[in-house]
Amino acid sequence: MIATKTVAVVDYGMGNLRSVTQAVVHAAQGSGVNVVWARSPREVLSADRVVLPGQGGMRDCMRELRDSGMLNAVLHAAATKPLMGVCVGMQMLLDHSDEQDVQCLGLIPGNVVKFALDRQIQPDGSRYKVPQMGWNQVYQSHNGAPVHPVWGDVPDGSYFYFVHSFYVKPSDARHNAGEADYGGRFCAAVARDNIFATQFHPEKSADHGLALYRNFLHWKP
């Protein structure tokens, strides 16, 4: 009998859990992967791979991750199995966030900074607004290396859905796995070893977003 593979979507009280879980369930159809809405550290520890969502203020997210008892389970996952961060779940992976001056998980060297777009004008003549809310193209960063396998057959320059005021600045350019442009290029995806994460919301990004979740479920770092 073949053991069922599981992916845990971490519920630590912050994040768009229902839509993320539904999207991962949809992506997993026919794959033999069981999707778990993980409400306990044990469910995260026993899963084969993990999705870390996030939504809201960084201080609240980090506090809830600790207070829920999920912190050590997430750190264990980041060290031992494929892990995908989404939105604030990506920002949490870095060292520090300028949003409320918060120390983060320190899994990817770098900082989280706010868009500084005062008085900048978009190509259509309107002013840039913060937060960025809406569809934007994402370009898969090469940095002299092959495109990250989680991108799979998603076309370069595909549109994904963003809602954010802050973005990540990884210290090592090799960890930049995708970029978008909003008043200048910024990092929209990061990757290191068994970790892949996006600033945009795959669960709100139609077919290309589902393809990313599907690719993550089959990724073998």
3 pLDDT exceeds 80?
Answer: no
Q: Write out the residue range of the structural domain in which residue 34 sits.
A: 5-218
Task: Look up the pTM and report it.
Answer: 0.95
Closest CA to 91 of 202, 178, 189: 189
* CATH number for the domain harbouring residue 103: 3.40.50.880
Residue 2 confidence (pLDDT) = 47
More confident: 142 or 101: 101
- Which residues touch 156 (CB under 8 Å, ≥6 apart)? 139, 140, 147
Integer Cα distance of 96 and 33 in angstroms: 34
Query: Distance between the two ends of the chain, CA-based, in angstroms?
Result: 25
Position 1 pLDDT exceeds 50: no
4: confidence class by pLDDT, cuts 50, 70, 90: confident
Where does the pLDDT of residue 146 fall: very low under 50, low under 70, confident under 90, or very high at 90 and above? confident
Domains in the chain, number: 1
Rounded CA-CA distance 196/124 in Å is 33
State yes or no: pLDDT of 92 exceeds 70. Answer: yes
Instruction: Report the percentage of the chain scoring pLDDT > 90.
Output: 89
Give the catalytic positions in this structure. 87, 201, 203
Integer Cα distance of 185 and 120 in angstroms: 14
- H or E element in which residue 110 lies: strand 110-114
What does the angle CA 87 – CA 88 – CA 92 come to, to the nearest 5 degrees? 125
